[in-house]
Amino acid sequence: MTAVQVDTAAGARADGIEQISAVLRRAMPFQMVSDAMLREIAKLATWRSYARGDVIYEQGDMADAIHIVSQGSVRHLMKADGSDVERVMRGDDVFGWAAVLIGRRVRLAQTVSLERTELIQINGDDLMRLIKRSPAVGDVIMSRFATMITKEFAAPDSVAARVPHIEAPAAAPQHKGSATGWALTMFRFRQWIESPRPYLMLTGFACLLLFWYLTVEVWKLPRFAEMPGLTTVVHELFSRNPTYGLSLYTPEYYEHIGVSVRRVAIAFFLATVLGVPLGLFMGWSRTFREYVFPVFETLRPIPILAWVPLAILMFSGNETPVIFLTFLASFFATALNATLGVESIDESYVRAAQCLGASKWQVFRQVIVPGAMPYIFTGLQISVGVAWFSLVAGEMVSGGFGLGYVINTSYTMVRYPTIIIGMITLGAVGYTTSALVRMAGDWLMQWRVRELALGGR
């Protein structure tokens, strides 16, 4: 075997580390790792170059390092369960994972270079010592190794079971990096901040504002001639003495927001408490579904505005009809998604639980409810969104406060900048509530956050 090694360990040039980091970022086990951690891992790496036909390692050799293909290709031949499993490794593929397994580390396959090949090599012990410093990140890396071993290499589950589980030291405080749902949620948030997505989002908003400014104030297009301009709305929103009486400095602005948030919170709570159990039972019990679902599907398409006269007749005062109208759309979205969540569960899980002696209640509590949770929280995100536009419809008809009331009265009193302020506020508050529901779902579904981390390529 002939190999040429170029040292890129600690102290190597920054461009070399960045080049290795770029390769690692595309490799499955390291796709969820922050840029700072990738650079630390890159400092442990060395380049190796192989010619066509070079044997990188033989089955039974001691496993001391993992390999990532940068250029070229490698044949990976593993004997498993009496049969040969052959796989060709190309750019960004990872092999040599026996170097991070628990127990005796020996090569499980033979690897041969198929052409001129450049590999990145990382010592397994050095890698384990590094990632153990950040248990939440390390556990994700090791979990992705386990998934890769079973899915991409078709290795037995017993091999994947030897991938170590990274845990925080027992004496460490909970907030110092233990692999909890909150830690993984914050990890994903940091990944989002470090990705291009937030900056693309800001660019999108900037394009929207530029379009608004050009069409109304510069080009003055016919369809936009009567709209308030961007500068007018911004001046009104930040004015201490607003022309139309509503800005960030007026108490009435926050009173309207508070009233609307309170109404949505009550309606959303009722929709969740009633809609989730109803949806679960509709998906779980065929008999119950036959009774309830036809009625549910008959009422669901009726527009919210069609319920306004009945809401005013059924409920006294100005508050209850608005909450009822807000509740309706949210309730239907929640219940329907809970039903779809139950229907999405593989029947084999239910049968397996029953074969193990689980009662109907245990199956419902331990299989149906957890299995439907991703759909339930998707439904709750939709639910809180439709609650906001249902609220506006209700507040336009009935109610003396709230953002919908502001928009409606501003139109009748020709306060067009206030309409835009109400719409922008409604969108910002609605976006925030939806994000809070999504974060709550990630925190409650720790296993789901882990599954998203294991998504692979």
In this prediction, residue 26 carries a pLDDT of 86
Q: Do residues 117 and 72 lie in contact, with contact meaning Cβ atoms separated by under 8 Å?
A: yes
Q: What is the mean pLDDT of residues 310-338?
A: 91
Query: Hey, where are the domains in the chain?
Result: 3-172, 228-453
pLDDT of 299 higher than 70: yes
Q: What is the mean pLDDT of residues 394-398?
A: 79
In 3D space, the residue among 255, 272, 233, 229 whose CA is nearest the CA of residue 387 turns out to be 272
pLDDT of 170 higher than 60: no
Structure tokens at 334: 């929640």
In this prediction, residue 237 carries a pLDDT of 95
137-162 pLDDT tens trace: 787 788 778 777 777 676 665 665 67
In this prediction, residue 217 carries a pLDDT of 92
pLDDT of 226 higher than 60: yes
Q: What is the mean pLDDT of residues 50-74?
A: 92
CATH superfamily of 3-172: Jelly Rolls (2.60.120.10)
pLDDT of 175 higher than 90: no
Q: Which amino acid is at 55?
A: V
In this prediction, residue 452 carries a pLDDT of 52
In this prediction, residue 167 carries a pLDDT of 59
| C-alpha separations of 142 from 100, 381, 423, 447 in Å | 9, 31, 46, 15
Residue 26 CA to chain centroid, in angstroms? Answer: 19
260-275 pLDDT tens trace: 999 999 999 999 999 9
pLDDT of 383 higher than 60: yes
d(CA 187, CA 181): 10
Other C-beta atoms closer than 10 Å to the C-beta of 394 total: 29
d(CA 54, CA 47): 15
Residue 318's pLDDT band (cuts 50, 70, 90)? confident
| C-alpha separations of 73 from 46, 68, 78, 113, 260 in Å | 18, 10, 16, 6, 60
pLDDT of 179 higher than 50: no
Mention the CATH class of domain 228-453.
Answer: mainly alpha
